[in-house]
A and B are shown apart, each in its own frame.
Chain A
Amino acid sequence: MAEPILSVRNLQTQFAAQEGVVHAVDGVDFDVFEGRTLGVVGESGCGKSVTARSILGIVESPGRVVGGQILLRPAKGGAPIDLLTLSPKAMRDIRGPEIALVFQEPMASFSQYYTIGNQITEAIRLHMGMDANAARARAIDLLDMVGVPQPSRRVDEYPFQLSGGLRQRVMIAMALACDPRVLIADEPTTALDVTTQAQILDLLRELQQKRGLAIILITHDMGVIAEMAHDVAVMYLGRAVETGPVGEIFSSPKHPYTRALLRSIPTVLAKPRTRLPTIAGSIPHPFNRPTGCPYHPRCSEIITGLCETAEPPAVGEASREVRCFLHGGRP
């Protein structure tokens, strides 16, 4: 396989609170390739969104990236650069032209005080050095590309004048404004109804085929993963517990957590009126992180005496890793 465009290595992001330090992202590894989609999946609070923000260097205080590497392969070729070593100024030139972000709540993620045209063109003018007219023409083209009807009229409208689906299309147009190579979509369809969801996912896939975009798709929805992702990283408590190609993750999941997630997908083949299996327990409070394997208190296949004390290392080849003692790595 080709070189990854973006590699995350042992990423660690912490939030210092008065009660202690929260390890929101605690050693995440994954690779993203051109023209492919990496699905990052996990329950709420597992550190998916913080991972996305860490990559862009926009983690909000008191959060801080404390370790690891975020390696971006330059467009011109050459050795990968570690984004964590860049100056704030250099990092701002990454945001937009190299890596862009699509957010979960299209309503809250726009300012209601400026037209969508204004909010799209500011990035174009900043990074591409276009004048106001050229930037406006580009914004209209972008709106047209993401399927916004009557783009030359819509460009002067405010976000509150658009429907939820249109707003998310505009959000995607805004993210693509400066031709990024990597697009991070953080739960892009969660706030939308099912039909609109399907349209937005289609749009993302179409844009990926046209432009060879690398997409990191963050979701808690295994259905979305099955439909969209080429590769999958399953996250639990700030850690990627299993990674691999989407087919293998679905056909032969290794980590008990992945298996539990897959069992809890509703299927039309299930017997009517049976309960959907759920994962026992809930995500531990961030301040009471379990020792050993973080999943052991909820695990049905716990190896008593081992999982509570030792942390399982990642085993397997780079494209198919799992962190579980059932699959090796015992001390």
Chain B
Amino acid sequence: MIAFLLRRLALGVMTIWLISVLSFVIIQLPPGDFVDAYIAQLASSGSSVSAEEAQAMRLQYGLGQPFYVQYGKWISRVVVGDFGESMEWRRPVTQVIGDRLWLTLLLSLGALIVTWTLALPIGIYSAVRQYSVADYIFTLVGFIGIAVPNFLMALIIMYFAFKFFGASVGGLFSAEFAMAPWSWAKAWDLAKHLPLPAVILALGGTAQLIRIMRANLLDELRRPYVVTARAKGLSETRVILKYPVRAALNPFASNIAYLFPYLVSGSIIISIVLGLPTVGPLLVKSLVAQDMFLAGTIVLLLGVLTVVGTFISDLVLMWVDPRLRHQMD
């Protein structure tokens, strides 16, 4: 068991390293570099940069060097915790990302909690009362939830919130707290703003998970061990919750790994639409500007989150499935 966990950990580190190489390559793939993008941006606003200045900037960021030299310099600083400086913002990357990483995590976690608390009971109900009126309604709503892109949902909700309640639902903070340092009042303000974007972000995943839970449970409900449990004289609720639901939870556990990156990447568009201060919009901007160190750091962070998510999901799976546990020994 311990050996397995160590092996998984080592593999995780390898994966993260590969992600760092790949992300660096991908960021460099578009023609030109940050200086080109910078010059083009200045040109569009009417000013210009001399050839000497451009050359000086390239030298400063080491852009003229071969790929592996650039990568080597970057990664050797990353391992000691220095993520470099954002070219566009001219500040350390860690400062630029700042609270955004934690807000992104918080938002994703919120969406995850919403997803599970909705999807589990609805999925169970839909399976146990298959083809009931409620099942059909949940199915219909679920398909709508899957089919409608969540940014569209965000726009619609924003529209109605503004039209009927006169409320602006954008952002994670009220105006007076946006730039303020952290305080209890600011945290409370965040707590008030978080639920709506979390729910919007959760909708697509919830609909999917309801379908998964329903299908799994329908399979499990027909297994002989359910009849065994009934033959013992257990109440129907107890039978269903203890036996088939437990078995149907397995895919939920393995789903954690995929849900996390899905929520983070899914939050990019929603964050742009709702004006949320998460890493999503920052990533898009840094990619457009070819701001390598910022983009590289964000992609690397997302990679780490995914690997950690997979690791957690493995642990949960081993916890819920005794067969896996025994294969390890």
**Partner-B contacts on A (CB < 8 A):** 53, 56, 58, 60, 92-97, 100-101, 103-105, 108-115, 122-123, 126-127, 158, 160-161, 174, 177-178
Alpha-carbon distance between A112 and B326 when the two chains are bound, in angstroms: 12
- In the complex, whether B223 has a CB less than 8 A from a CB of chain A is yes
Chain A residues positioned under 8 Å from B232 (CB to CB) = 95-96, 122-123, 126, 174, 177
CA A58 to CA B227, docked complex, whole Å: 7
C-alpha gap A208/B184 in the complex (Å): 72
Q: Contact partner of A109 among B228, B233, B235, B326, CB < 8 A?
A: B228
Q: Is the CB of B246 within 8 A of A103?
A: no
Contacts of B326 in A (CB 8 A): 158, 160-161
Residues of chain B touching chain A, judged by Cβ–Cβ distance below 8 Å, are: 222-225, 227-235, 242-243, 246-247, 320-323, 326
Residues of A within 8 A of B229 (CB): 111
Q: Is the CB of B234 within 8 A of A126?
A: yes
Are A108 and B224 interface neighbours, CB within 8 A? yes
Using A58-B230, A158-B323, A158-B326 as known contacts, say yes or no to A111 and B235 having CB atoms under 8 A apart: no
Interface of A is mostly: loop
Q: Decide if A122 touches B227 in the complex (CB within 8 Å).
A: no
Can you list 26 contacts pairing A with B, beta carbon distance less than 8 Å? Answer: A56-B231, A58-B230, A60-B222, A60-B227, A92-B235, A95-B232, A101-B231, A103-B227, A104-B224, A105-B224, A108-B225, A109-B224, A109-B228, A111-B228, A112-B323, A113-B243, A113-B246, A114-B242, A122-B232, A122-B234, A122-B242, A126-B232, A126-B233, A160-B323, A161-B326, A177-B232
Q: Which chain A residues border B323 with CB–CB below 8 Å?
A: 112, 158, 160
Q: How far is the CB of B152 from chain A (nearest CB, A)?
A: 39
In the complex, how many angstroms separate the beta carbon of A115 from the nearest chain B beta carbon?
8
Q: Could you say which residues of chain A place their CB within 8 Å of the CB of B235?
A: 92
* Assembled-state Cα–Cα distance A111/B247 (Å): 8
Taking CB atoms, residues of chain A closer than 8 Å to B227 are 53, 58, 60, 103, 109
The DSSP consensus for interface residues of chain B is helix
Chain B residues in 8 Å Cβ range of A60:
222, 227
| Known contacts A103-B227, A160-B326, A161-B326: A111-B233 contact under CB 8 Å | no
How many angstroms from the CA of A95 to the CA of B229 in the assembled complex?
10
Interface centre among A112, A160, A177, A178 (most CB of B within 10 A): A112
Separation of A100 and B233 alpha carbons in the complex (Å): 9
CB-CB under 8 A for A58 and B225, given A113-B247, A158-B322:
no
Q: A160-B323, A160-B326, A161-B326 are in contact. Are A123 and B233 (CB under 8 A)?
A: yes
Which among A110, A158, A161 is the interface contact of B228 at CB below 8 angstroms?
Answer: A110
The CA-CA distance from A307 to B246 in the complex, in Å, is: 52
A53 vs chain B, min Cβ distance (A) = 7
Point out the residues of chain A lying under 8 angstroms from B225, CB to CB: 108-111
A127 touches B228 (CB 8 A): no
Q: Are A103 and B228 in contact (CB under 8 A)?
A: yes
Q: Which of B229, B230, B233 has the most CB of A within 10 A?
A: B233
| B224 contacts A93, C-beta separation under 8 Å | no
Q: Chain A: which residue is nearest B247 at the CB level? A: A113
Q: Which residues of B contact A174 (CB under 8 A)?
A: 228, 232
Q: Which residue of A lies closest to B220 (CB)?
A: A111
Asked if B246 and A111 sit within 8 Å, CB to CB, the answer is: yes
Min Cβ gap B325→A in Å is 9
B128, chain A: closest CB distance, angstroms? 11
Chain A: CB-nearest residue to B130? A61
User: How distant is B323 from chain A, measured CB to nearest CB, in Å?
Assistant: 6
Pairs of residues from A and B, 10 with the lowest C-beta to C-beta distance, nearest first:
A95-B233, A96-B233, A123-B232, A101-B231, A108-B224, A92-B233, A109-B224, A58-B230, A111-B225, A109-B228
Nearest CB of A to B240, in Å: 12
* Cα-based distance from A177 to B326 in the complex (angstroms): 27
Bound state CA distance, A103 and B224, in angstroms?
A: 8
Among B224, B230, B247, B321, which residue has its beta carbon within 8 angstroms of that of A95?
B230
Closest to A98 in B: B233
Roughly how many angstroms separate A174 CA and B229 CA in the complex, as a whole number?
11
Asked if A113 contacts B320 (CB within 8 A), the reply is yes
Q: Once bound together, how far apart are the Cα atoms of A97 and B233, in whole Å?
A: 9
A111 / chain B contacts, CB cutoff of 8 Å:
225, 228-229, 243, 246-247
With A58-B227, A103-B228, A108-B224: A113-B322 Cβ-Cβ less than 8 Å: yes
A56–B230 alpha-carbon span in the complex (Å): 9
